[in-house]
Chains A and B, each alone.
Chain A
Amino acid sequence: MRLDLIPRARRSPWLDALTPVLAFALAVLIGGIAVSALGVAPSQAFLTYFVAPLSEVWSIQEVALKAAPLALIATGLAFCYRAGLWNIGAEGQYVVGGLAGGIVAIAAHGMEGFSLWVLPAMLVAGTLAGLAYAMIPALLKVRLGVSEILTSLMLVYVAQLLLDYMVRGPLRDPKGYNFPQSVGFDSFARLPYLMEGESLHAGVLVAALALALAALVLARTLFGFEVRLVGTSPRAARFAGFSQARLTLAVFAISGGAAGLAGILEVAGRIGQLQPEISPGYGFTAIIVAFLGRLSPPGILIAAFVIALTTIGGENAQIDLKLPLDLTRAFQGLLLGLVLGADVIARCHVRLVPGGQAARPEV
């Protein structure tokens, strides 16, 4: 027996949409088996993971608050991955963005008078810091040909250690009883809430805006065309007169900026101060979101909600069902693998053939 993969001349949009759904169903099935192996009824787990978070207003808001940074980072990453470049250091760019924006807030702490500029300045500082941090692997790639995969990943560890140093050292709240955390931000340095008395903040709007902008850029601009072209046919992109180096810098800037913005939105939104941990791994989870959403903004929107749902559901399951949080992580990793595997159905005609060597026509 052997597996024949005959590339499809043309992808069907219908299959493109179906395969992630299929992969998701399969992941849920495998997850169900794992859950029952851990002694919990799969139906109960399903309710806890996928239904309960949507049953109340406050928990729906929680899902949206988790989905927003994921969608924002994943959208930026989609530009990179479409262009065939592998920024896997979004977590580090997020951390640096949160740190830089946080420094602005701390510098403005206790300020009197006109303070409307502080929040915008924080967002700009966060975005620029994430962007600049992403420029390190991008420049090393463009100038020296160093693999961006390894450098961007290594810089995640460095960024986390930098944040750790800052909140334990220079940025520590002097009145904070030696806890490793900064002062709490003033209200003018916090994101406004969308509704009185609720937790949903303006960061969700920023993410939605970024998603819409990205959809427009990818489909309707020359730059979007460039990104799509470089990813599928790099030589044709050179023939079109597009510079690979310039594009590398541009997509790293976009993904780094988006991650940095997500970082400061989270710090200025939910957290309200700097502390050693400002991310539950958003930068890595966003990679799953990007692929689950097929690197397209509408897909990413859906994928971000699904992944946020499983994350909230996972937290609930830990409390209600005593299921370990690592189960969620394993589930997400499995889901990404299955999405990538299932993609073969959209790319190729898959056939099981008895014996012999595989082949396809050369016409």
Chain B
Amino acid sequence: MTLDIVQMVLVTVLTAATPLILAGIGELVTERAGVLNLGVEGMMVLGAAAGFAVAMQTGSTGLGALGGAGAGVLLAALFGVLTVGLAANQVASGLALTILGLGLSGLVGASYVGMKREPAPHLALPGLTDLPGIGHLFFGQDAFVYAALVLVVAVWWFLGRTRAGLTLRAVGDDHTATHALGVKVRKVRFLAVLFGGACAGLAGAYLSLAYTPFWAPAMTAGRGWIALALVVFASWRPFRVAAGALLFGGATVLQLHAQAAGLGLPGQLLSAMPYLATILALVLLSLGRRRGGSPGPAALGQVFTPSR
């Protein structure tokens, strides 16, 4: 019995972590290429709206997920044109993307407010899913959760084991040097930005198609920003992003249970926990990092205009 309660808690942790994993892993790739895209929140919220709209129109969760990712890619492409193509300031452009994404998502989602859908189907393997204690956790999740976990492994393999991943890391480390070797820096960066957009869009689609599952304005509630913080927290390593997201998911679930248990704490304080926890995590990280350590991709946030 207690085993099943533990499993139930772990499942909620995993589902709370999934959007953070998806968005975080996308931003990680973008940042490893040297681009800081602060527009994750905007891409995510548009992905949620577009994903829900497409799913409602087509009746297909899969197409909805695709639609969400596509919307993220479109916004990311705009960001890529601005920062990679026109060498605009990345921080300010990312803010523009967030504002634009929030506005567009409101337009796209306007006619779907208040509608509800069946959540994305969960895996059901006869025998395995019903295993006591672990079956549901490992064999009973929806496709987004598995996709997120596969993505973590795939990105780890791509960055560390493939030539294209090496090129991407090189671009993020020193764009002048890699440009001199003939690497198409702007192309690599643009593709990395698009990948980040697809992941953020997918993360948003997960929220509206599986997590809640409905569309509400600004439903991402700062998760995009938390994903950004996670990447820093994870020192730009894929598995640490996943671990950090799970920790965070755990904190979120804890907060929900605390609220339900009625500890006498004001609800607002509990709601503020994720944001305070993010700040605390960043502080602890920098305390730990004060003695040396890698501060991330060397060219992160630097504008590249081809030269030399």
Contact = CB atoms under 8 A, between A and B. Distances in A.
Indicate yes or no for A touching B, C-beta below 8 A: yes
B110 A357 contact: no
A332 B91 contact: no
Interface residues of A, number: 54
A333 B278 CA distance: 26
A296 interface: no
A319 interface: no
A188 to B, nearest CB: 31
A343 B287 CA distance: 38
Residue among B91, B266, B305, B308 facing the most chain A CB atoms (10 A cut-off): B305
Given A5-B306, A337-B78, A341-B82, A140 B283 contact: yes
Given A145-B286, A333-B97, A359 B103 contact: no
A301 B46 CA distance: 32
A174 interface: no
A333 B225 contact: no
B224 to A, nearest CB: 10
B278 A154 contact: yes
A3 B187 CA distance: 12
A358 B286 CA distance: 38
B69 interface: no
Interface string A138-150: 0010001111011
Interface size class of B (residues with CB under 8 A): 35 or more
Interface string A263-294: 00000000000000000000010011001000
Given A161-B272, A328-B103, A337-B82, A287 B305 contact: no
A254 interface: no
Q: Binding site of B, secondary structure by majority: helix, strand, loop or mixed?
A: helix
Contact of B271 (A146, A151, A161): A161
A326 B99 CA distance: 10
Contacts of A327: 103, 107
Interface string A150-167: 110111011001101100
B92 A340 contact: yes
Contact of B96 (A153, A161, A165, A333): A333
A169 interface: yes
B99 A359 contact: no
Interface string B17-38: 0000000000000000000001
Given A326-B103, A333-B96, A344-B88, A165 B279 contact: no
Interface string B60-89: 000000000000000000100110011111
A336 interface: yes
Contact of B95 (A165, A324, A336, A343): A336
B305 A348 contact: yes
Residue among B102, B271, B272 facing the most chain A CB atoms (10 A cut-off): B272
A175 interface: no
B276 interface: yes
Interface in B242-290: 266, 268-269, 271-272, 275-276, 278-279, 282-283, 286-287, 290
A247 to B, nearest CB: 18
Contacts of A88: 95
A348 B38 CA distance: 24
Given A153-B225, A348-B305, A358-B306, A340 B89 contact: yes
Contacts of A86: 91
A331 B272 contact: no
Nearest to A140: B283
14 contacts: A86-B91, A154-B278, A327-B107, A330-B100, A333-B99, A333-B101, A333-B102, A336-B96, A337-B100, A340-B93, A341-B81, A347-B87, A348-B305, A357-B179
Given A325-B106, A337-B96, 17 more contacts: A147-B232, A150-B279, A151-B279, A158-B272, A161-B271, A165-B266, A168-B268, A326-B104, A326-B106, A326-B217, A333-B96, A333-B98, A334-B96, A341-B81, A344-B88, A357-B179, A362-B307
Interface of B: 38, 42, 78, 81-82, 85-89, 91-93, 95-107, 110, 179, 182, 217, 222, 225, 228-229, 232, 266, 268-269, 271-272, 275-276, 278-279, 282-283, 286-287, 290, 305-308
Interface of A: 3-5, 7, 81, 86, 88, 140, 144-147, 149-151, 153-155, 157-158, 161-162, 164-165, 168-169, 284, 287-288, 291, 324-334, 336-337, 340-341, 343-344, 347-348, 357-360, 362
